[in-house]
């Protein structure tokens, strides 16, 4: 039995968060698109940065537009093959300020009212120097030079499956944002 995003929201964020999420209707994707453009202009391209990019997108949408976006971690399948396999949730930090340096393999994206938003999929595909199923699929289905993937779940191209396994809580999102902030500060 496939687990749903609603079940994951309840498990990891609580019933009140699920109610807030389900009560929201995205009447226009414009705030999501504008936020994505802003973040992509600020954050340099990095392969495999789906978790911090998704955390930044969700938190900005929550803070600036009161949009109850959730960060989802899971598998990404392309043409029947798992491109990213998520075996565990993203590690959760504690309040000690200790840096967590654990390997995590999976994919993250944002979900809002039946939409999937993915800030990293194009950057990751375009940055691959070798031939890969992901790179070939993205080039064929979307072309080159794309920045942000946003689609209603029923409009995702055939052969591309986002399979949710976890929803991130506020501590996980805060940790990812702190790490992203540190990286951006170091690059200046």
Within 10 angstroms of residue 153's Cβ, the number of other Cβ atoms is 11
pTM for the full model? 0.90
Per-residue pLDDT reduced to its tens digit, 94-141: 655 555 556 678 999 999 999 999 999 999 999 888 889 999 999 999
> Where does the pLDDT of residue 93 fall: very low under 50, low under 70, confident under 90, or very high at 90 and above?
low
Give the dihedral sign, CA 98/102/108/113: negative
| Domains, the chain, with CATH or none | 5-89+103-187 (3.10.550)
Q: What is the mean pLDDT of the chain?
A: 90
* Bridge partners, residue 78, by sequence: 81, 160
User: Quick one: 51 exposed, middle or buried, by C-beta within 10 A (0-12, 13-18, 19+)?
Assistant: buried
Per-residue pLDDT reduced to its tens digit, 41-84: 998 887 778 999 999 999 999 999 999 999 999 999 999 999 99
């Amino acid at each position: 039995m496939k687990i749903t995003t609603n079940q994951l929201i309840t498990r990891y964020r609580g019933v009140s968060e699920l109610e807030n999420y389900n009560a929201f209707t995205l009447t226009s994707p414009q705030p999501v698109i504008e936020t994505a453009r802003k973040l992509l202009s600020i954050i340099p391209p990095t392969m495999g940065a789906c978790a911090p990019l998704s955390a930044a997108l969700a938190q900005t949408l929550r803070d600036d537009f009161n949009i109850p976006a959730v960060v989802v971690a899971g598998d990404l399948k392309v043409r029947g093959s798992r491109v990213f396999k998520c075996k565990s949730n993203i590690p959760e930090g504690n309040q000690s300020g200790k840096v967590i340096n654990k390997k995590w393999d999976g994919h993250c994206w944002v979900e809002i009212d039946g939409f999937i938003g993915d800030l990293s999929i194009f950057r990751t595909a375009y940055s691959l120097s070798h031939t890969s199923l992901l790179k070939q699929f993205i080039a064929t289905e979307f072309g080159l030079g794309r920045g942000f993937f946003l689609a209603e779940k029923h409009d995702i191209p055939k052969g591309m499956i986002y399979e949710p396994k976890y929803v991130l809580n506020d501590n996980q999102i805060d940790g990812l944002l702190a790490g992203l902030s540190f990286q951006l500060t170091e690059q200046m």
